[in-house]
A and B are shown apart, each in its own frame.
Chain A
Amino acid sequence: MSLLDVRDLAVEFRTRDGVAQAVNGVSYSVEAGETLAVLGESGSGKSVTAQAVMGILDMPPGRITGGEIVFQGRDLLTLPEEERRKIRGSKMAMIFQDALSSLNPVLTVGYQLAEMFRVHQGLRRKEARARAVELMERVRIPAARQRVGDFPHQFSGGMRQRIMIAMALALEPDLIIADEPTTALDVTVQAQVMELLADLQREYNMGLILITHDLGVVADVADKIAVMYAGRIVETAPVGNLYRTPAHPYTKGLLDSIPRLDQKGQQLSVIRGMPPSLLQIPPGCAYNPRCPMARTVCRTDEPPLYEVVDERRSACHFWKEMFDAS
């Protein structure tokens, strides 16, 4: 049994302009100790899926219209809010992109960390504070004892992100969802934070869902990748294979369009057009208006997730051509 099994999840948002289909039948699973990277551009539904798993989706305007989220054998969507709140924080935790706006600016970081222990474990103030210092040391914040009374703005971006990680780890959850954890950070700091996250994951044998748009970050730490486009998963694969032999034209387009540090290219190849509006997802394959391989069938029939080889799936009618060509 997987730690987390998302099956056919569908989420929509009611807006003034119509219904936005943010997530359209997404399925993925994460095992203990495994890192799943969910890759996609803005609006691909990668964060909305994660929010639905965490149970922090704004409803309304959001609405889960179908699917199951099975976590440690229980379908979270059938649980009452009271039950879900107990799971949130203690069994699964989330790390957000922007630490400065996710931390409370008028409370000290020590207080915010200690709050986790006081609320969930009923610890006393003093004990909770001691645990907070311990946590700060674990995420390698120098001089933790002196800094526990500091406010979020007194920390640098990298240090703040460490506090976020500490907060997520506080109750030793089984699953961590990190939504663009390093996007706001400089590369040198990004390397520190990713290393820390990977170390801690190994130590606690946690499942990790890493949501990102950065193909580079993923290559380094993920075990498997799910690529999302317009609310659907278009390709899933173990990490190495995806880079060598992309089996979906969108994945290939993404890989080709990023400049490489180790190569001085001529012209960058480009995915023409832009991602579709979620209010009006094209019929058939959502990627067909931008796809260089699109044919008639792509405009009419939505491709299922075809099984390519073991553990690899691609939602392209012509995955075989793609696969053989690469």
Chain B
Amino acid sequence: MRADHSGRAQAPGEGREALLEVRDLVKHFPLTQGVLFRRQIGAVKAVDGISFDLHKGETLGIVGESGCGKSTVAKLVTHLEQPTSGTIRYKGEDVTRLSGRALKAVRRNIQMVFQDPYTSLNPRMTVGDIVGEPFDIHPEVAPKGDRRRRVQELLDVVGLNPEYINRYPHQFSGGQRQRIGIARGLALRPEVIVADEPVSALDVSVQAQVVNLMERLQDEFGLSYMFIAHDLSIVRHISDRVAVMYLGKIVEIGTETEIYDHPTHPYTQALLSAVPVPDPESEGKRERIVLEGDVPSPANPPSGCRFRTRCWKAQQRCADEEPALAVPENFAATLPDEPVHHPSACHFAAERATVIPPVG
């Protein structure tokens, strides 16, 4: 295993082998001008230097507002996009340099579940074709004669009636469609599943069913999840560790307890305080931090700390000097197992008591 310089927050996964090691990952989308002579006039810095590890059997949640780059991270990890720079190591091998057969083998092990079950399934294919399509690309996984049986097994695993194999997507409800998407993701027996907002399009009562299904499958197959969502409550429920992104950077990363009960970055605190809690009593005890303004454009992010334009703590230092993602100086003296001892990219990191008051 390589030296772990992404932070010391890997408490639950520590000692275990990291399946994925992402280091200094950057993705810039060029902005061009002119039709005949295209020249680059700038770049949207969608992901701008992020590092994290994903361990075997764990769930890493990634949260942030729209436009923070969390979906781009998903696309980079699944190799649907080529990074501008940085490395993604899968079991020690740099995926970004692979091509051809070697890449295909890695891709088999990193599968994706998409957000919208209405548009991510081909309406003209039957469920059997959709779930069995991965076998066409990776025929070594299931011999041809065996495929129908394998597809039916998969449908059974995700809680769908195996007899539905000849039906079309429109004959299913949203929750059932998401189960089809999950069955497709599982078909090749991957080790890592990247789920980009897998339950956001579903009704509340159906969300819980799909979340429970994903947790059960994780135990059953020893899967590692990268769970990307904007719903902080669901991320807390399913994740072991959580990374908070803002404008292409990870601003805070740690275990679920460290992030939700002891956030030290102002953005994390604001984000958590903005989530409505379905309990008027606990709602009354909270102090809500309402942020001013909108997220700046990733084509032209602020100097220094990117959050400073909306931060109530911002000072001159924040504009001059970009804070590193590390355990903040004022908490450096704390023991590693104390919950505030986790990487937070803020010059003035501090705890705040009233973000989420404990319930009695």
* B233 A191 Cβ-Cβ under 8 A: no
Return the contact of A243 from the options B65, B204, B256, B280 (Cβ within 8 A): B280
Please name all residues of chain A whose beta carbon is closer than 8 Å to the beta carbon of B212 when the two chains form the complex.
267-268, 270
Within 8 A of A (CB), among B142-173: 173
**B234 CB within 8 Å of chain A:** yes
Please judge, given known A-B contacts A41-B205, A158-B294, whether A259 and B275 are in contact too, CB under 8 Å. Answer: no
Return the contact of A192 from the options B256, B276, B281, B290 (Cβ within 8 A): B290
Please judge, given known A-B contacts A270-B212, A271-B208, whether A188 and B270 are in contact too, CB under 8 Å. Answer: yes
- Closest chain B CB from A291 CB (angstroms): 12
Return the contact of A258 from the options B233, B238, B280 (Cβ within 8 A): B233
* B283 A220 Cβ-Cβ under 8 A: yes
Task: Identify which of A73-81, A88-96, A210-218, A302-310 touches chain B.
Answer: A210-218
**B31 CB within 8 Å of chain A:** no
Please name all residues of chain B whose beta carbon is closer than 8 Å to the beta carbon of A214 when the two chains form the complex.
204, 276
* B256 A264 Cβ-Cβ under 8 A: yes
Please name all residues of chain A whose beta carbon is closer than 8 Å to the beta carbon of B277 when the two chains form the complex.
216, 219, 260-262
- Closest chain A CB from B140 CB (angstroms): 36
Task: Identify which of A114-122, A129-137, A249-257, A314-322 touches chain B.
Answer: A249-257
**How many angstroms between the C-alpha atoms of A269 and B215 in the bound complex?**
13
* A260 B233 Cβ-Cβ under 8 A: yes
Please name all residues of chain B whose beta carbon is closer than 8 Å to the beta carbon of A240 when the two chains form the complex.
280-281
Please name all residues of chain A whose beta carbon is closer than 8 Å to the beta carbon of B203 when the two chains form the complex.
41-42, 213, 275
Q: Which residue of A lies closest to B297 (CB)?
A: A156
* A191 B280 Cβ-Cβ under 8 A: no
Within 8 A of A (CB), among B253-301: 256-257, 260, 270-272, 274-283, 288, 290-291, 293-295
Return the contact of A257 from the options B204, B281, B288 (Cβ within 8 A): B204
- Closest chain A CB from B295 CB (angstroms): 8
Please name all residues of chain A whose beta carbon is closer than 8 Å to the beta carbon of B234 when the two chains form the complex.
259
Please name all residues of chain B whose beta carbon is closer than 8 Å to the beta carbon of A272 when the two chains form the complex.
209
Return the contact of B204 from the options A215, A263, A269 (Cβ within 8 A): A215
* A264 B175 Cβ-Cβ under 8 A: no
Return the contact of A270 from the options B209, B270, B272, B281 (Cβ within 8 A): B209
Per-position 1/0 for A176-201, Cβ under 8 A of B: 00000000001111111001000000
Within 8 A of A (CB), among B25-81: 65-66
Q: Which residue of A lies closest to B215 (CB)?
A: A267
Q: Which residue of B lies closest to A195 (CB)?
A: B290
* B208 A217 Cβ-Cβ under 8 A: no
**How many angstroms between the C-alpha atoms of A259 and B234 in the bound complex?**
6
Please judge, given known A-B contacts A188-B291, A191-B290, whether A262 and B204 are in contact too, CB under 8 Å. Answer: no
**How many angstroms between the C-alpha atoms of A41 and B65 in the bound complex?**
24
Please name all residues of chain A whose beta carbon is closer than 8 Å to the beta carbon of B279 when the two chains form the complex.
219, 243, 260, 262
**A106 CB within 8 Å of chain B:** no
Could you tell me how many residues of chain B have their Cβ less than 8 Å away from some Cβ of chain A?
A: 48
* A189 B294 Cβ-Cβ under 8 A: yes
**A26 CB within 8 Å of chain B:** no
Please name all residues of chain B whose beta carbon is closer than 8 Å to the beta carbon of A262 when the two chains form the complex.
277, 279, 282, 356-359
**A325 CB within 8 Å of chain B:** no
Please name all residues of chain A whose beta carbon is closer than 8 Å to the beta carbon of B291 when the two chains form the complex.
188, 191-192
Residue from A158, A265, A274 whose CB has the most chain B CB atoms within 10 Å: A274
Please name all residues of chain A whose beta carbon is closer than 8 Å to the beta carbon of B319 when the two chains form the complex.
none
**B236 CB within 8 Å of chain A:** yes
Please judge, given known A-B contacts A186-B230, A259-B236, whether A216 and B288 are in contact too, CB under 8 Å. Answer: no
* A216 B278 Cβ-Cβ under 8 A: yes
**B105 CB within 8 Å of chain A:** no
**B232 CB within 8 Å of chain A:** yes
Please name all residues of chain A whose beta carbon is closer than 8 Å to the beta carbon of B204 when the two chains form the complex.
41, 213-215, 254, 257-258
**A167 CB within 8 Å of chain B:** no
13 residue pairs from A and B, CB less than 8 Å apart: A158-B294, A189-B294, A213-B203, A219-B276, A219-B277, A220-B283, A257-B205, A258-B208, A262-B277, A262-B279, A274-B173, A275-B203, A275-B205
- Beyond the given A191-B290, A220-B276, A268-B211, please list 12 additional residue pairs across the A-B interface where CB-CB is below 8 A: A41-B205, A191-B276, A215-B278, A216-B233, A219-B283, A258-B204, A258-B278, A259-B233, A261-B236, A261-B272, A262-B279, A271-B208
Interface residues of B (CB under 8 A from A): 65-66, 173, 175-176, 203-209, 211-212, 215, 230, 232-234, 236-238, 256-257, 260, 270-272, 274-283, 288, 290-291, 293-295, 356-359
A-B pairs with the 6 shortest C-beta distances? Answer: A216-B276, A259-B237, A257-B208, A215-B278, A186-B65, A191-B274
Interface residues of A (CB under 8 A from B): 41-42, 142, 156-159, 186-192, 195, 213-220, 239-240, 243-244, 253-255, 257-265, 267-272, 274-275
